[in-house]
Structure 1
Amino acid sequence: MNIRALGFLLAVMSLAVNVLRLALPALYGDVSDVGPYTTLLMSPGLPAASFLMMAIGGMAVIFGTAEPIGTPVTSPPHRGNRTTAQPLLLTAEAQTAAISLNERLTRFRSLPADAVSAEASIEFDAIVAKHLPHLRAAHDGARLTVPDGSTEAEALDHDYAQSLDRLTATVDRLVNDCSEAARDRFAVEQRFIEMRHPDGSLSI
């Protein structure tokens, strides 16, 4: 409960008791002996104090200083100074491998839909949605543990580039298989036309 809520609660309680102070004498006569707690709440100074607490709580909320009463202030856990959001200084080998893979991914996406088999589509989706993101995340996490430009960073980037090259080779194979299948389908249709129309004349 914060200061403003406590002040609001006291104000409501004070208002209720003051209403009872006016109503009870009309119903029961003398109610001067109502107990110490009710006497305290019926005191004229309590409404002013409660409204003062409401004002303080309101100012605290406006200026962003209101905190729940009894809540300890804790600092966030230490997570290091570098995050994966910061750009990594990759080696030229790793950059080249990443560019080459992006080109192959773009090439596959440009294939006609009817030229892509279901198996090739499943394998490509797995590369894009799982294999490549997981590889990048693991590499970035490892690279953030070593200084940029160090021997350890170069070794990690070299291994990363080799993994990217493997993915590039797989996408190349998918593109070639789909392209070959499309050309084979065209060759079949071409042979059919040659057999059905051997002299080039229109035949029904």
Structure 2
Amino acid sequence: LVAVLVATFLPNLGANNAIGISAAAALIVAYIIFKPKLSTPFKDGVRLNDNVGSTGILPQVLSALGSLFTAAGVGAVIAAGVGALIPEGNHLIAVIFYCVGMALFTMIMGNGYAAFAVITVGIGYPFLIAQGANAIVVGALGLTAGYCGTLMTPMAANFNIMPAALLETKNKYRIIMTQVPVALIMLVIHIILMYVLAF
């Protein structure tokens, strides 16, 4: 609520600052409700960081890698390769390539945002948006199609490996194995929705 209010009424601060202010407000509210020792949040923050380890900074590193891939022209290379496989004017095949490509590249990168820039430049824009697809639908469903890949990869360590470590599961891939059927069903639903809603 605080983040939305700050972003709405103080737009000059930007979204990141709105989230930071809301986190500080949440901490104050938690102090009021639970009345812990002043040092408790800091000790628990250190404990959680120690449990997570270097995995905690993985999302930022992977996002930076996605930007680097985009700047290096990986999207253009993907467009050239995919262009030979998609029959001209076949929107269904283009949607399948885009959604599955988003999921696969997210599995490689471990991050939907990193994959989004590269795959949208390589497939989403030239084969969908430039062919008349609704850009808002393509963008929204494309990013969440990438999240289907997040559910199926150990590269998304902050979502899949770290929780397994914190829950002390016997198999560190147990969370991924549980999520795969749901992710595949959701990916098919994304393909259908994008094909129906974007054109």
The normalised TM-score by structure 2 is: 0.30
Larger proportion of helix? 2
The normalised TM-score by structure 1 is: 0.30
